[in-house]
Amino acid sequence: MPSRKAIIAEILTSMRQYDESGLIDYVSLNRWIKNELKRFGANIMQLTERVIHVRNGQADLPENFFSLDFAVKCEQDSYFVEEECREQINSSQEWKTRTETLYEWDNQSNSHKGVDYKCITEKVSVENCTATIRYKSPQMLKLTKGIKREYCANACKNLYVRQAPHEINIQMNKMQFNFKKGHIYMQYYGLPVDDDGDLWIPEMRNLEEYLIAYCRMKILEDVYYNDEDVNVINKLQLAKQEVSSLYGMAQTQVKFEALSKDWDKKIKNKNRRETLKYENLFP
């Protein structure tokens, strides 16, 4: 699958005149691609898991977030890191995190035998060094009253929590909590990303062409509104026509791909796996 960086490189190549003149905002390019991908909804999302660190009662939503499957509050228990990696891990400000599977752990024997409580692990990697962090005592979060339903997946487990001491709210690109600090383990549906956190674009040529055309149109709009090119109006009109046509083609391809390849069996199997994983989270 192509990355967002690859799509941006193709856009910049086709808009070289404006790029060389410094008229393209790269931050906006990244945002446009992300926002347009989310317009295609659940058909291009995948289930993702992550440990979130809460500070001052809030935390940033992951950039690729689309809808919440479930979230629990958990306590940091212990960590393990090789001796030669400790200084590097502790001094690094650029941790790349990947949440591992849930498992049961016995604190007394330091093994998987004689289960004592449930534990979540997170692997933190810095270059060639890895630390394993353990979290314990997961507690389901209650959704704050008035949270927008669009932030929750259809089968979001937190929707069914009626009484709980800890709450979660989602607004725009932030999560808010009724406690000051702690750790949240969450599963959510989101855009696929690589190990560096860059978005991956589903391998559908119509979708790629739409994203490229849309970003070109937005660049031309910026040029037009800033009076940077007296001849831009004709280009902008053509770009808008192209975007309108390609959007319909991209929607059709995305829906077709989602409904093909034994989609009904895959959805049932995935839902069953996630239900079992959720049920096994608690003792």
153, part of any domain = yes
54, part of any domain = yes
**224 and 180 together in one domain:** no
For position 254, what pLDDT does the model report? 92
**115 and 10 together in one domain:** no
For position 127, what pLDDT does the model report? 62
**50 and 23 together in one domain:** no
**58 and 117 together in one domain:** yes
Backbone angles phi, psi at 96, to 5 degrees: -105, 115
Cα 161 from Cα 45, distance rounded (Å): 25
**22 and 53 together in one domain:** no
**203 and 186 together in one domain:** no
Domain boundary (161, 190, 219) is at 190
Range of the domain at 227: 4-43+198-268
For position 106, what pLDDT does the model report? 46
Domain boundary (174, 190, 206) is at 190
**87 and 157 together in one domain:** yes
57, part of any domain = yes
**175 and 53 together in one domain:** yes
117, part of any domain = yes
For position 228, what pLDDT does the model report? 81
For position 205, what pLDDT does the model report? 93
**107 and 118 together in one domain:** yes
276, part of any domain = no
128, part of any domain = yes
Cα 157 from Cα 187, distance rounded (Å): 10
For position 261, what pLDDT does the model report? 52
Domain boundary (164, 190, 216) is at 190
147, part of any domain = yes
**163 and 52 together in one domain:** yes
202, part of any domain = yes
Cα 153 from Cα 167, distance rounded (Å): 17
For position 2, what pLDDT does the model report? 86
As for how many domains the chain has, the answer is 2
- The pTM assigned to this predicted structure is 0.73
For position 20, what pLDDT does the model report? 93
Q: Return all residues near 80 (Cβ < 8 A) that are at least 6 apart.
A: 131, 132
What number of CA atoms fall less than 13 Å from residue 255's CA on the CB side? 7
CA distances from 173 to 4, 28, 46, 71, 170 (A): 20, 16, 19, 16, 7
Beta strand pairing status for 142-143 and 167-171? parallel
**132 and 114 together in one domain:** yes
For position 58, what pLDDT does the model report? 95
**182 and 77 together in one domain:** yes
Taking the chain (283 residues) in runs of 10, the rounded mean pLDDT of each run is 91 94 94 95 90 93 94 76 57 44 45 46 65 76 92 92 92 93 92 85 92 97 88 92 96 84 50 56 50
For position 87, what pLDDT does the model report? 58
